[in-house]
Amino acid sequence: MSESIPVSVKAPGRRRAAKGVRKRQLIEATIESIAKRGLGETTLSHVSTAAGLSQGIVNLHFTSKENLLNETLNFLREDYDQALQQALAKAPDTPAGRLAALLRADFKASVADRKKIAVWFAFWGEVKSRPAYRKICQDRVKNYNEILHGLLNALVVDGQYANIDVPQLADTITSLADGLWLNLLISARGMKRAEAERTMMQYLCSVFPKHTEAFS
Amino acid sequence: MSESIPVSVKAPGRRRAAKGVRKRQLIEATIESIAKRGLGETTLSHVSTAAGLSQGIVNLHFTSKENLLNETLNFLREDYDQALQQALAKAPDTPAGRLAALLRADFKASVADRKKIAVWFAFWGEVKSRPAYRKICQDRVKNYNEILHGLLNALVVDGQYANIDVPQLADTITSLADGLWLNLLISARGMKRAEAERTMMQYLCSVFPKHTEAFS
DNA sequence: ACAATTGATGAATAGGTGTTCATTCACAAA
DNA sequence: TTTGTGAATGAACACCTATTCATCAATTGT
């Protein structure tokens, strides 16, 4: 949000920063720009100006624009995974409780932020023509699926559910989650995060009727 | 290739076409290019070359690139709506049969074509920063939701189902459909259309257990 | 047959973008 | 203080892209 104040050249003391600091600063400016202007209209000028730095700064720290975008998508993925881990760490130790925590995490304010979702979709929109993006997105899905499969299997055992096709159920859940994100992004009458979360929980209740209290 | 020999024999009937014909030809070249290169890398040169025409042709028929892209998205939406109408027209006259037809249509070869899905996502990725795209996408969703609500209400009455929140159910169904599309686009082990359709049908079976035969 | 009309051309234009690199300058070690 | 290091600059460069427009030629009307 707060736009970085462009540093006056005259004002001393605003120079030099560790590499890691600048890189993160530039990545955040990139996310901001993609959310505001879209991926196609995001230029290095926009990014460096928003960061209050000079023209060549991105090439200095990332070598190329392509590299900046790859690292931006990577950052987004790590940010997402971290939110999941954090949610699981705080979750109760029951399968249902952990599953609920995992799926609620998708709709937390810090994850389902409209800006971040816009950036996710911007990259998804290029997935077919950019193998580098596809790789990162596939890795994220793969990791998510592994966690989800584990929890679903545990819950099926825990509740002695029969006739549940876990792989297909996992597909349904991940698809539902992604589709709800699209709703958050597009919907006219601003679908709210809470509403999306409720929809997801309601679905889980219907699949696991013995554990409704965990999904309420 | 050989060309520009200014003799009378210029080429076979390669000149002149009605406005509508050229426009459609250019829109199709645009879709092709977006699917192959992405929205950001699609240039007017690519489009006109792919159509076998000259530089200025897009500006002649569409005035601007922005216009071409808007009309391309519009075409995609009309194409989609048409597929839905066609599916409904051929459907049996029962609520369950019509619902099944509507949702199966999302995964027909001509609709869930990997190229078209890539283009949909390319535009969705810019929805936040381009009001014109957002408008078209919202209209499509709105129309879809109206049809879906009608069918769901009819089916609830038909089967005397209780405790069904139709608006929420409609949200779940549309989200699931969109999410399955993302799976088709990204998934590593190529999720197949048939698999996605089965997932959707299986979900409908779970919601409407008295009508499973319509969803099998 | 002869204009008139209009689709189509493609070279030229103007504006913008990513990248480079010689140079500057903050900072800390000697 | 002096000096070495490397972060940061920003003008210059080469490239690309959307758009224009004078020109051409196929079709239509008379």
> Which CATH fold topology does B11-63 show?
Arc Repressor Mutant, subunit A (1.10.10)
CATH code for the structural domain at A1-63: 1.10.10.60
With 0-12 / 13-18 / 19 or more C-beta atoms within 10 angstroms meaning exposed / middle / buried, residue B206 is middle
Output the pLDDT for position A7.
32
Nearest CA in chain B to A128: B118
- Interface residue A164 vs chain B (CB under 8 A): no
Give the residue with greater pLDDT, B24 vs B8. B24
pLDDT surpassing 70 at residue A2: no
C-alpha A74/C-alpha A88 separation (Å) is 21
C-alpha B201/C-alpha B197 separation (Å) is 6
Nearest protein residue to nucleotide D16, judged by CA and C1' positions = B43
The domain segmentation of chain B, as residue ranges, is: 11-63, 66-215
Q: Stated in angstroms, how far is A71 CA from D5 C1'?
A: 27
User: Would the Cβ of A54 be found within 7 angstroms of any atom in strand C?
Assistant: no
**Residue B9 — very low, low, confident or very high, per pLDDT cuts 50/70/90?**
very low
The residue among A74, A151, A173, A79 whose CA lies nearest residue B183 is A173
Taking residue B210's Cβ as centre, other Cβ atoms within 10 Å add up to 12
What mean pLDDT do residues B179-198 have?
Answer: 89
- Interface residue A168 vs chain B (CB under 8 A): yes
The residue among A73, A72, A107 whose CA lies nearest residue A87 is A107
Nearest protein residue to nucleotide D11, judged by CA and C1' positions = A55
What mean pLDDT do residues A71-85 have?
Answer: 98
pLDDT surpassing 90 at residue A3: no
Q: What is the DSSP letter of A5?
A: P
Output the pLDDT for position A15.
59
Taking residue B57's Cβ as centre, other Cβ atoms within 10 Å add up to 17
Residue whose structure tokens are 């014909």: B21
Nearest CA in chain A to B168: A199
C-alpha A59/C-alpha A64 separation (Å) is 5
Angle made by CA atoms A59, A63, A65, in degrees to the nearest 5: 75
The residue among B212, B202, B211 whose CA lies nearest residue B107 is B202
What is the tens place of the pLDDT at every residue in A14-64? 457 777 889 999 999 999 999 999 999 999 999 999 999 999 999 999 999
What is the tens place of the pLDDT at every residue in B85-111? 999 999 999 999 999 999 999 999 999
Query: How distant, in Å, are the alpha carbons of A18, A74, A215, B136 from that of A136?
Result: 26, 7, 30, 30
User: Would the Cβ of B206 be found within 7 angstroms of any atom in strand D?
Assistant: no
**Residue B160 — very low, low, confident or very high, per pLDDT cuts 50/70/90?**
very high
Q: Which CATH architecture has domain B66-215?
A: Orthogonal Bundle (1.10)
Angle made by CA atoms A179, B156, B102, in degrees to the nearest 5: 50
- % residues pLDDT > 90 (chain A): 88
Give the residue with greater pLDDT, B61 vs A7. B61
* Superfamily grouping for domain A64-215: Tetracycline Repressor, domain 2 (1.10.357.10)
Output the pLDDT for position B20.
82
What mean pLDDT do residues B176-194 have?
Answer: 89
Q: Which residues neighbour A44 within 8 Å (Cβ) at sequence distance 6 or greater?
A: A55, A58, A59, A65, A68
C-alpha B71/C-alpha B69 separation (Å) is 5
Output the pLDDT for position B62.
97
Q: Which of residues 8-67 of B touch strand D (CB under 7 A)?
A: 10, 13, 15-16, 41-45, 55-56, 58-60, 63-66
pLDDT surpassing 80 at residue A9: no
B 43-82 residues with CB < 8 A to A: none
CB A180 within 8 A of CB B175: yes
Structure tokens at B140: 């499509």
